[in-house]
Structure 1
Amino acid sequence: MTRINREHLQKRIAQHYINIANKQKHIIVKHFLQEKFRRQIIYSIVKKYEDSSYVGGKPRSGRSKKLSRGKLTRLKRLQWASGVIKKQRAPKYTDQQLEEIPARARRLYRILSNNDFDLIMDDEKYVLLQDQSVPTNRGFYTSDKRTTPSQIKFKRIQKFEPKILVWIAISENGISKLFFFKTKASC
């Protein structure tokens, strides 16, 4: 029940309680039970009226949830004028990270210059088995939607579609063979 409907019901019950039922609860309960309202709701509204002589929603405190368009523009204008809002790029590195870069680069160069290791690079890619992985294949073309079969309009998709893992490695010794693996779960 929306707030407006609830307030309307509260006012109806209060008016009926005063004017028709002569403040007799059993009459008002009987009347509103026939309208399919719960007994507990009727009694709680009557009790609320007896306690405070008031029904309906009271004005709520606190700020409004939304600003009007005029207030929002005024706020933006004030913030821009005072320099509060200023768009800035977030730095990629902290000052400490920038200071550590030369030392780490020297350490990596010393390790690589000893020639007592094999440098290996690898990469992997997951490829979907369905044609839905290509964005242009996600829709369908038709001249009349009503004549299009439902199996074309509504395609069921799995939450975790089967994929194929493609992996390759490169080193000083050469390139590895491609490795394919069909995954059963999400990766």
Structure 2
Amino acid sequence: MTRSERDCLKSHIVQHYINVANKQKKITVNHFLQEKVPRRTIYYIIKRYDESGAIVGKPRFGRPKKLTTGQLTRLKCLVNNKTGKSLRRLSSKFKVSYKTISHQLKAMGIYYHKNKRAPRYSDKELEEILTRARHLYRLLTKNDFELIMDDEK
């Protein structure tokens, strides 16, 4: 449940408590139990309203985000579906640590992949590639497959 949904539920419960139930907790609780709202939640919201008189909570404070939303969208465009982007180069571009970039990418669901070098083949492995390709070709031509040969390894 998002914060706006919680605030909407709180205001709905408090308005029912004031207007319909004439500040009787039992009537309000029974009504919202039928709507599948937990009993403890209903009592907690009513108790907070009676004590403070406020429906929604006060704004919360905390450490500000290092990257703004505009920077996050720019980061997403730079990295999404691309391999080989250096986190350290990205971090210098956004003037934050590379760990911050890594955490933000993880939060956005983008998985970073480093470029990997292709393995070097020995002479024996190169010979095996040719024999295996020949074997595969013979196997596939028996079953009326169309095969397109390429000269790459």
Larger strand fraction of residues: 1
TM-score, structure 1 normalization: 0.35
User: Whose Rg is larger?
Assistant: 1
Larger helix fraction of residues: 2
TM-score, structure 2 normalization: 0.42
